[in-house]
Amino acid sequence: MTGDLFTGLARDPSMETLTEGALLLRAFVDEDEAIRLMAAIDTVLEASPLRHMQTPGGFRMSVAMSNCGRYGWVTDRRGYRYQSRDPLVERDWPAMPSLFAALAGRAAAAAGFAGFDPDACLINRYEPAARMSLHQDKNELDMTQPIVSVSLGLPATFLFGGMARTDKPQRMRLESGDVVVWGGPARLAFHGIDPLREGEHALTGRCRYNLTFRRAR
Ligand code: MD3
Ligand code: FE
């Protein structure tokens, strides 16, 4: 099957530079690949289920998370970090599906980051009202490595700030199949997600998934 699950029409892929180092690849993932990605996500989540982690300040995150790959990003009262073990099931995180690694490599290469070899993939699930406040991703060792993000399911309003928390963020819509590669000067930009609006998507139901591929170590 090809094309959008609702309309049967495929969105046209396009590339847009958001700011130096940040490349938005609209509809980089087509519906067939999106279906295969969701199946792989489900398999990962059977081994390492989604959970609402605690921030160091003691708040429960509204986004439910899991990971795959050599390392996973976690937060609890002790802080933010990457670790090879899933603290919920007390086993290593599931391996990164080859489909995931291939997609991340293809997207990074399209953005000029040849040889991107992620060792961590954070899986975020947003239900209506879930959000992520402005933050920087700075728990990774090598900031010359990009982060590749993949959106699936319900659309979200992405907040794209500057290098200072107080810079007024731009808002843009991320839709299912959109991929963004964040490297170079954009790597340490502040970013977040507005509260997810109610909706229903043929691929994911009442939620949005976001995959972020990272080189943690
Ligand atoms: C800009 N996730 O998991 S993806 C995160 O949609 C995270 O779940 C959001 O922020 C989400 O840390 C946003 C877009 C994104 C990801 C990483 C970035 C933008 C970024 C790293 C640096 C700059
Ligand atoms: Fe982030």
Question: Using 50, 70 and 90 to split pLDDT, how confident is the model at 3?
Answer: low
Is the CB–ligand 1 distance for residue 182 below 6 Å? yes
Tens digits of residue pLDDT in 192-208:
999 999 999 999 999 99
Q: What is the model's pLDDT at position 1? A: 47
What distance in angstroms lies between residue 2's CA and the mean position of ligand 2's atoms?
31
What distance in angstroms lies between residue 144's CA and the mean position of ligand 2's atoms?
16
Bridge partner list, 180: 24, 149
- Three-state DSSP at 164 gives coil
Average pLDDT over residues 19-39: 97
Q: What is the DSSP letter of 95?
A: P
Shortest-distance atom of ligand 1 to CA 160: 1
Note the pTM of the prediction, 2 decimals.
Answer: 0.97
- Class level of CATH domain 14-214: mainly beta
Q: From residue 41, how far is each of 99, 111, 122 by CA, in Å?
A: 10, 24, 11
Give the start-to-end residue ranges of the domains of the chain. 14-214
Which residues neighbour 36 within 8 Å (Cβ) at sequence distance 6 or greater?
Answer: 99
